[in-house]
Amino acid sequence: MSKVAWIGVGLMGSCMAPRVMAAGHEMTVCDTVREHCDDIVSKGAKFVATPAEAAAEAQYIFSIIPNSNVLRAIVKGENGLVNTLAPGKVFIDMSTVDMEASAEVAEAIAATGAEYVRITVSGSVGSAREGKLVIMASGKKEVYEEVTPILDLLGDRKYYLGQKEEARAMKLIVNMLLASTINAWTESLVLGEALGVDWDTMLEVLADSSAANLMMKQKKAPMQKRDFSPMFTGNNMAKDLGMVNDMLRKNHLTLPVAAITAQMYSAMETHGAGELDYGAVLLVNEALNNIHHEK
């Protein structure tokens, strides 16, 4: 078994890192919020305070962190990975970040002689907990194949996309489609509300219709209860759609639905609902149409 470090024990990391440790790998964890690590430390992991310490402890260093600036900081900052990365070590970042930041840290990692694999994932907290994420990978293929046994603990479907930043692009493509789809779904729900269709029945029919998809089926039950407990927050979706819009500008592309959907998630943040599940974009569509529910 290998020595593994995990940087970022948040909503997703707290589900993923324990699966790796449970398989017998020696685990070191690092997070800016010490309390995030308490549970896994109580089960045998070692806590360290900085990414540099994490890289010194392990052969394989995983991270899943909030954004591009944090990625730069954990790699190139004062106590960043580059201080202790060395040949034979592999850094595997699983965050949703922009392609430019990823390429920038790739240069810094290459200078240490270590390897770098970009892994992005699709799936909810539940998928992470069960090891059923969809894994999208890019980087040197032989290094990706080296870390595949650990990735098998996290996801049951894996796709290798190329040598550089292709996995970053693919994740944003997936989330663009997911956000647009759920926004369209909630618009349909608002129409049904306005026309007096029974809420529970409407959700049942949509999830069983020719328009149904996996997202509708998974979110049907919580949506029936109007339960917006976060599996993936609106704030995170807004961040990802901001990166999508940046890519559109840089590549001189016009995708109107993506642009409008990004505005909907910005409105969700503005109205203080960003920490709710991304399905709570329903609340924005309801507010636009003067539909209100008691809290």
Q: CA–CA separation, 4 vs 17, rounded Å?
A: 9
Measured CA to CA, the distance from residue 144 to residue 91 in angstroms comes to 11
Query: Taking Cα atoms as reference points, which of 135, 132, 133, 131 lies closest to residue 160?
Result: 135
DSSP per residue over 233-292, as a string? BHHHHHHHHHHHHHHHHHTT---HHHHHHHHHHHHHHHTT-TTSBGGGHHHHHHHHTT--
How far apart are alpha carbons 265 and 270 in whole angstroms?
9
Query: Degrees (nearest 5) of the Cα angle 7, 166, 69?
Result: 40
Structure tokens at 241: 């759609």
Asked whether the beta carbons of 93 and 120 are under 8 A apart, the reply is: no
Single-letter residue type at 81:
L
Residue ranges in the chain assigned as alpha helix (H): 13-22, 38-42, 51-57, 68-76, 99-110, 125-130, 141-151, 166-194, 199-207, 214-224, 234-250, 256-270, 281-288
| Residue 171 annotated among the catalytic residues of the structure | yes
Of residues 171, 217, 219, 295, which has the active-site annotation? 171
Q: Annotated catalytic sites, by residue?
A: 171
